[in-house]
Amino acid sequence: MNPAILIAVASLLLLTFGRSRDRLSRHFTAAQLSVTNTGLPNEIPAMFRANAAQLGSVLDTIYDASGGIVVTSGYRSGPVNDAVGGVTGSEHLQALGADFKSSRGMDAAGLFQLVSDLDLPLAELISYPSHVHIAVVPP
């Protein structure tokens, strides 16, 4: 086989498997559920990956029901949680908590109401002026 074709195939495989490894749910990747603007490293540890997948699955339902959401904070390492003023013992530290807003221009109060009406199995549901916070029950 032509070496150029081999390289192309290898690159494609790497891309495909790299992507699937990063995907946690239909709408969310690990990168999206560990986003931070602190500049600190913030990778979801393997021990919290199942929590993050559970979080992604609940967020998928909210995404579909609302027409689209953007997660502004999901998993937080200890230093990231400290940097953003997160509470001690925050569900974000175990990849069980997420802050999000509508990507369709719905305000946070409207999004909060929509999530309430979905009757999801949530441990926490809090409305903030700029976003909604949820915490899910561990899988």
Asked whether position 101 contacts Zn ion by CB under 5 A, the answer is no
To the nearest whole angstrom, how small is the minimum distance from the Cβ of residue 97 to Zn ion? 5
Asked whether position 133 contacts Zn ion by CB under 5 A, the answer is yes
Nearer to Zn ion, 2 or 88 (CB): 88
**Dihedral of CA 117/115/64/138: which sign?**
negative
Distances (CA, A) of 110 to 56, 101, 114, 132: 21, 10, 6, 10
The residue from 42, 51, 95, 99 that contacts Zn ion (CB under 5 A) is 99
Nearer to Zn ion, 101 or 133 (CB): 133
Provide the CA 69 distance to its chain's centre, in angstroms: 10
Asked whether position 55 contacts Zn ion by CB under 5 A, the answer is no
Which residues make beta-bridge pairs with 125? Answer: 134
